[in-house]
Structure formats: C-alpha cells, structure tokens
C-alpha cells in the first residue's frame, strides 16, 4: 500500500523501532484465540493487520505469522483467490472510517439492497484500491458517485459504480468537476490519493462549490483553501469504541455477505511482484515510482 512507503519516507505513525509494516493479508488461519468462533484453524480468510494502530509489530502484515484481531478477519470462499482477497482489507477499512464515522462524513451504513438518496460524493482517485472500495461503499449507501482517474482506468472505475469519471490529467479538471457537481447535493469528498497533486485541484474545486469535509488518507502537507475541511481517515480508527457499530457492520455483516454473493468487486487487479519477505521492499519501491490501476502482492 502507498501508506507503507510513505511511512518509511516520512516517518509518521511509528512510535518505536524496530517495526513491521504491512496491513493487507490473506491466507489460512494458523491458530485462534480463546472465544473466537467465527473463524477456525485452517480456514481461508483475509484480514487487516493493525500494527500501526496498536504500535505493536506483532500485528504487522509483512511477516510469516502476523497476529490479527478476530474482529478484523473475514472468511473467504474457495472461489476467491488469496491474491484477490489481499486487495481489500486496508482499503475497505480506510474507506469505512472516512465514510461512516460520525467525525468524518457520517453516511448511512452500506446496504446489500440500497435505495438512492439523491445525494452525491466525489471520490478522487477511483482506480486505487481505496478509491474503488470507497466508490462501492458509497453506492451501497445510496449515493451517486463522481470520480476521477486516468483515461486508461475509466472503464474500471465505472465498473465499480461511478456514474461519471473525469480525467484528472485534464487541464480543465477543476471546472469539469464543478460542472458535473452543479445541481447535485454534495455530501463530501474522499481524496483516495492524498498527495499535493490531488489536494490542490480538490482545494480549487471547493473554492467554487463551498465548504465540505474532505477525507484524506495521509496528513496534508500543503496550504489548502479555507473551504477544505480535512478529516484524516486512519484505518486503525475502526477500533474506536464509540464507532463499534461501523466495525461490526462492515467486517462481520456487509463484507462477508457481499463477497459470498459476488456483489462486491475486489479492485484493482492484483499483480504478483515477488515471492518471499525479501521481495517486499522491491514491491514498495515499485509502488513509490508510480502505479495506476494495480495492487501489488508478494507471496510469503
């Protein structure tokens, strides 16, 4: 995930060293703790490793036997490969915190049978794993989704539910987005990229459409419009006791059932970039150089 190379480069979140990064895992359960009943030893699962959130390297994903909270583990069917499953955990959790926690956008929880609300959301960076997940969750919450992506990835972003996809590389992208949003009730913006190259146009858009909350996945590093109300969407906030309803609904109800039905697309497609723990850094370096519409996977 981009957050992993950004943590390496910018040294945020990690409080003690040495530390083990890694958030997305899929594989067989090696053992379960006392009281765990929804998964069993030997079962196929995917899970979110919350090491950065609890400041404990035992919960980092870049190791052979990571420890996970049972509440952040989801059984997967035999029809779903581990590579496909490993695309989703961090993206699902990050998007859920941004969309549903009351301190963020506070949207209605997603439904397997959503009803249109007549409201819209802008998801910047819809071809990323977090972006494509945020689009699907937003649609499941009854929202119309406007998104951005390179032209190469427009079909992917539309396939996960965006009604309008705009080219973020266009010199007129700000006005293009403003035009599409005209006449729509905007509930907020989710910047799934959260780099200066995405925050600047979002800030300019808000200068024209007014103040709104903007979900970010890393802290802002540039000066923003006064209309840009940043909310930092940290995946490990999912354990916030005041928001336990979101955790339970997403990980124990919506995610397993939507995967079982095949109604939730795990996007973007996984690309195997190595085998063994020694290849993880190589994958992060490739990710740092710029990747679009792909999710890097390393087999360990």
Which CATH number fits the domain that encloses residue 25?
3.90.180.10
Q: Give CA–CA dist 141/220, Å, rounded.
A: 27
* 15 shares its domain with 33: yes
- Domain of 195, CATH number, reads 3.40.50.720
Count of alpha carbons within 13 Å of 8, Cβ hemisphere only?
13
Looking at 237, 259, 279, the residue that finishes a domain is 237
* pLDDT score recorded for residue 28: 98
Final residue in a domain of this structure, among 206, 237, 268? 237
Asked whether residue 225 carries a pLDDT value surpassing 90, the answer given is yes
On whether both 212 and 190 belong to a single domain, the answer is: yes
Check whether 296 has a pLDDT greater than 90.
Answer: yes
Full residue range of the structural domain in which residue 162 is found: 92-237
59 and 125 in a single domain? The answer is: no
Is the pLDDT score of 293 beyond 80?
Answer: no
Q: What is the mean pLDDT of the chain?
A: 94
Structural tokens at position 173: 């992208």
* Backbone φ and ψ of 67, nearest 5°: -95, 135
pLDDT in tens, 227-272: 999 998 888 888 887 888 999 999 999 999 999 998 999 988 899 9
- The answer on 233 and 98 residing in a single domain is yes
| 233 lies in the same domain as 245 | no
Using the predicted structure, report yes or no on whether residue 46 has a pLDDT greater than 90.
yes
Q: Are residues 114 and 229 in the same domain?
A: yes
Confidence of residue 14 (pLDDT cuts 50, 70, 90): confident
Q: Tell me the pairing of strands 24-28 and 185-191.
A: unpaired
* Residue 158 pLDDT greater than 90, yes or no: yes
Residues 65 and 177 in one domain: no
Query: pTM for the whole thing?
Result: 0.91
| 226 in the same domain as 289 | no
Q: Which residue has the higher pLDDT, 103 or 175?
A: 175
44 and 156 belong to one structural domain: no
Is residue 250 within 8 A of residue 92, CB to CB? The reply is: yes
Q: Is the pLDDT of residue 12 over 80?
A: no
286 against 240, higher pLDDT: 286
pLDDT at 258: 94
pLDDT digits (tens, 9 = 90+) for 183-224: 999 999 999 999 999 999 999 999 999 999 999 988 898 999
Residue 125 and residue 232 share a domain: yes
pLDDT at 246: 93
Please list, residue by residue across 8-29, b when 16 or more beta carbons sit within 10 angstroms of its beta carbon and e when fewer do. Answer: eeeeebeeeeebbbbbbbbbeb
Same domain, 186 and 248: no
Rg for the chain, CA atoms, rounded = 18
Among 188, 203, 237, give the residue marking a domain's end: 237
Give one word for 190, left, alpha or beta, with left for phi > 0 and alpha for psi -120 to 50: beta
Say whether both 163 and 66 belong to one domain.
Answer: no
pLDDT (tens digit, 9 = 90+) per residue, 103-147?
Answer: 999 999 999 999 999 999 999 999 998 999 999 999 999 999 999
Task: Domain count for the chain, please give it.
Answer: 2
- For residues 38, 40, 46, 51, the Cα torsion angle rounded to the nearest 10 degrees is 90
| Span 155-178, average pLDDT | 97
Q: What's the confidence (pLDDT) of residue 236?
A: 86
């Amino acid at each position: 995930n981009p957050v992993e190379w950004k943590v390496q480069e910018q040294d945020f979140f990690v409080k003690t060293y040495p530390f083990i990064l890694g958030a997305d895992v899929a594989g067989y359960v090696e053992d379960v703790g006392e009281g765990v009943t929804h998964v069993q030893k030997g079962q196929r699962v995917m899970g979110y490793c919350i090491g950065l959130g609890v400041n404990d390297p035992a919960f980092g994903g870049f190791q052979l036997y990571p420890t996970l909270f049972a509440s952040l583990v989801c059984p997967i069917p035999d029809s779903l490969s581990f590579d496909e499953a490993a695309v989703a955990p961090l993206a699902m959790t990050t998007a859920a915190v941004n969309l549903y926690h009351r301190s963020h956008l506070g949207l209605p929880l997603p439904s397997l049978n959503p009803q249109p609300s007549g409201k819209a959301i802008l998801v910047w960076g819809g071809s990323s794993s977090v972006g494509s997940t945020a689009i699907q969750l937003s649609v499941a919450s009854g929202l119309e989704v406007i998104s951005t992506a390179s032209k190469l990835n427009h079909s992917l972003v539309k396939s996960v539910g965006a009604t309008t996809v705009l080219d973020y590389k266009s010199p007129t992208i700000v006005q293009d987005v403003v035009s599409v949003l005209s006449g729509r009730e905007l509930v907020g913006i989710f910047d799934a990229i959260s780099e200066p190259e995405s925050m600047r146009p979002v800030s300019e858009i808000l200068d024209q459409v007014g103040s709104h909350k903007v979900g970010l996945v890393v802290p802002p590093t540039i000066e923003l419009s006064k209309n840009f109300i940043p909310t930092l969407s940290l995946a490990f906030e999912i354990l916030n006791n005041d928001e336990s309803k979101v955790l339970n609904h997403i990980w124990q109800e919506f995610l397993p059932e939507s995967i079982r039905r095949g109604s939730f697309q795990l996007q973007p497609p996984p690309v195997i970039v190595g085998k063994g723990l020694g290849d993880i850094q190589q994958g992060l370096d490739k990710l740092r150089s710029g990747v679009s519409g792909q999710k890097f996977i390393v087999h360990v």
